[in-house]
Structure 1
Amino acid sequence: MKIKTLTSGVKRLIYFVCLTLTLFDVDARNLRSLSRENTLCKGGSVVDIEGDAGVKIEPIDQSKIYIDTLLQPFDDGHTFRFEFKTYSGNGTLFYAVRRNDVFDMVSAEIRDGYVQFKVRCKSSYADLTIPRFRVDDGEWHKIKFQRKRRKGIFMLDDMEFFEQYYVGCQGFTSLNFGNTNSEHDDSISVQELQPQNGQFGGCIRRVEISTGIETPPKYTAISFCN
């Protein structure tokens, strides 16, 4: 039996259902938006780069983690380490710079699937690539950087490379993870990390820094790792 016409009651019922579904869809979008806004965390939130769960740096513009002021400049005897995982073949893992210095920097980035350390000091300049171990495999990997006087010790997955390469920079005052900090856009060294290797897409966890920090890390557009 065909129904050629609809009664006014049925029409009102269909209109109510469609309106409800539309509102539900709007609410769902708003909920997703609100959930995304809640990932814009700051120091003191439950998102913790020192924890085991880790945080995800999302592949959107200016998504990053940075510690803009260290309690003591990162120098002789200081160490920091962290773990990361990614499927991205290129991206900045970390870089450390001196405040108001356009030359001094040390960094680790992923280039074509391999870790590359950069040293950019007034008295030393190097690109140090670890060619044998790809890290864009979605597994957790460890990075460690330690300073002993003017020697730098670079480690990947608990293996030391480059035999304490010379790092002639004075103490670094800022640590940055995952992307470049706009405060350092004028730095000649930091500009080398953009644009190809500027954005890291992946997770970082278990960040440990021997010097301590004055203020909590600043989080932008990140969420828990899966």
Structure 2
Amino acid sequence: MDIHLRDLLCSLSHIVLCAILASAGVDGGSLRRQTATCTETSVVDIESNAGVKIEPIEQSRVYIETLSTPFDDGHTLRFEFNTKSGNGTLFYAVRRNDIYDMVSAEISDGYVQFKIRCRSSYADLTIPGIRVDDGEWHRIKFHRKKRKGIFLLDDLEYFEHYYVGCGGFTSVNFGSTHRDHDDSFSVRELQNKNGHLSGCIRNVKITTGIDTPPKYTAISQCN
């Protein structure tokens, strides 16, 4: 795989600002692995077990701009996170050139809340009884089965198979909102209601594969 990196900056606090330009090669049905290195011991890779740290600043995020196949029937997104933030965006998935369709997972007052924003379905699904702002590792899984959404936290399924009427999602963002989606009514809702996530995300797996490598902005290693 040939990887071209530009504008790789490391501050004294080891925050990495990465602008990733291009990548060639295919890594099966999983994410193409894209890493950014400040030193020989400082490698960030959201797909790896080491993961990345989302910093408590507005620009800190990991953005997968283009999935190889729209995230629709039969596809799965899974990842692990830890945080002590009581509020913040974990991820959201949107459709290109669509200002409404979105599915997201966020932390609201210490609990995971899934949001469904489709023209034919609208829901806020909060998982009770399990606080996730405890600094421990937790697991998220979102699977689509036709027009049903299957939501899991720590390998336990909640809400049975909830109706998700959106079409196939084309982009996924982790950690905060992205300016590319400022026109989205649903993403604006995330901007208005949540604080910024400060925590780690690792072992991201998306069965669609991706066409563009993850873009890392203002993140650091997860220790």
Q: Per the shorter chain, which TM-score range?
A: 0.7 to 0.9
Quick one: structure 1 residues 158 and 33, their matched pair in 2 at CA, closer, same or farther if it must change by over 3 Å?
Answer: closer
Could you say which residue in structure 1 is the equivalent of 2:92?
A: 95
**What amino acid maps onto 1:91 in structure 2?**
G
Quick one: structure 1 residues 110 and 38, their matched pair in 2 at CA, closer, same or farther if it must change by over 3 Å?
Answer: closer
Separation in 1, partners of 2:96, 2:177: 14
- DSSP-derived class of the 1:53 partner: coil
Check if 1:148 corresponds to 2:145. yes
Matching residue within 71, 77, 80 for 1:80:
77
Segments of structure 2 that go 5 or more residues without pairing to the other structure are 1-8, 21-33, 37-42
- DSSP-derived class of the 1:203 partner: strand
Matching residue within 185, 196, 219 for 2:182:
185
Check if 1:215 corresponds to 2:192. no
**What amino acid maps onto 2:117 in structure 1?**
R
Check if 1:44 corresponds to 2:35. yes
**What amino acid maps onto 2:196 in structure 1?**
Q
- DSSP-derived class of the 1:183 partner: helix
C-alpha displacement of 1:128 = 0.4
Query: Is this contact kept in 1: 2:58–2:176, CA < 8 A?
Result: no
C-alpha displacement of 1:151 = 0.3
Number of residue equivalences: 195
Query: Is this contact kept in 2: 1:67–1:216, CA < 8 A?
Result: yes
Separation in 2, partners of 1:166, 1:33: 44
Quick one: structure 1 residues 38 and 139, their matched pair in 2 at CA, closer, same or farther if it must change by over 3 Å?
Answer: closer
RMSD (Å) for aligned C-alpha atoms: 1.6
> Percent of pairs identical after alignment?
72
C-alpha displacement of 1:198 = 5.1
Separation in 2, partners of 1:76, 1:91: 27
Segments of structure 1 that go 5 or more residues without pairing to the other structure are 1-31
Separation in 1, partners of 2:74, 2:142: 11
Deviations 1:178-203, CA, capped at 9 Å, x for gaps: 00010101100111101341521100
TM-score by length of 1: 0.83
Separation in 1, partners of 2:207, 2:12: 34
Separation in 1, partners of 2:84, 2:14: 25
TM-score by length of 2: 0.84
Greater share of helix = 1
Could you say which residue in structure 2 is the equivalent of 1:172?
A: 169
